[in-house]
A and B are shown apart, each in its own frame.
Chain A
């Protein structure tokens, strides 16, 4: 066992267990805190995939932004006195259907992933990831980058406008 394997299995366990906590926990605040561990585990997997810049972006945007927004959303949209905010589930028919769909989907995905001959190249050693990402963003994907910035601006102004109390 070398350290890469131990790190991979550790992060994968964190991701899967805390994602299961989101899917099966009754209390919404527990789900929100499980989401925190899922995001951290996914960021760890990004580091193992040689994507350190994306990992830091994940931590800053998802944990610093989206998770805080979601926790605010939970607290602003429920009459709560303590942490016992429950999320109701759909009926038994829908849960049975959802379970069957999910299991069939999981088996199909994993069999497909296992049996497909993916296009692979030998691994190359990477020194820096920030520089190639910056070069691509400023040359080939320049228009998409600028449009994404404008989209974020419009989305946030629109969100502030919609959420405002009349």
Chain B
């Protein structure tokens, strides 16, 4: 079997689905964040795989760089929000934080 585009897409598809499963089944907000990181990484693998197999198009590399920058900003802001939630509720379970619903 030759290593081609499909093999990389396969790995990234599996990674995407594991991240989706983590997001859908965990209560703790930080686990949801980890699932999000998995999904972003699978998107990055797709970008770089298409970049390589379309004749080394460097636009995919640029897109990956911006995704990494946005992931760093997102994690910092999200953890700051989780720390505030923990000070108010003493837990970070996303399904029990429903004050606005009541």
Q: Which residues of A contact B (CB under 8 A)?
A: 4-5, 8, 12, 15-16, 19-20, 22-23, 28, 31-32, 35, 38-39, 42, 45-46, 48-51, 53-54, 57-58, 61-62, 65-66, 69-70, 72-74, 76-77, 79, 87-90, 94-95, 97-99, 101-103, 105-106, 109-110, 113-114, 118-124, 126, 129, 132-133, 136-137, 141, 144, 148, 151-152, 155-156, 158-160, 162-163, 165
Which residue of A4, A28, A114, A160 is within 8 Å of B31 (Cβ)?
Answer: A28
Closest CB of chain A to B98's CB: distance in Å? 14
Contact B24 A70 (CB under 8 A): no
Which residue of A4, A28, A123, A129 is within 8 Å of B30 (Cβ)?
Answer: A28
Contact A22 B18 (CB under 8 A): yes
Q: List 26 A-B contacts (CB under 8 A).
A: A23-B22, A28-B28, A35-B37, A42-B15, A42-B45, A45-B45, A46-B45, A69-B75, A73-B79, A77-B82, A77-B91, A97-B24, A98-B24, A102-B17, A103-B17, A109-B17, A118-B50, A121-B53, A129-B61, A137-B65, A152-B69, A155-B76, A156-B73, A162-B77, A162-B81, A165-B87
Contacts of B10 in A (CB 8 A): 110, 113
Q: Which residues of B contact A (CB under 8 A)?
A: 1, 3, 5-11, 13-22, 24-31, 33-35, 37-38, 41, 44-45, 48-56, 58-59, 61-62, 64-66, 68-77, 79-87, 90-93, 95
Closest CB of chain A to B86's CB: distance in Å? 4
Instruction: Pick the 3 closest A-B CB pairs, nearest first.
Output: A121-B55, A98-B24, A155-B73
In the complex, residue of chain B having the shortest beta-carbon distance to the beta carbon of A19:
B18
Contact B55 A106 (CB under 8 A): no
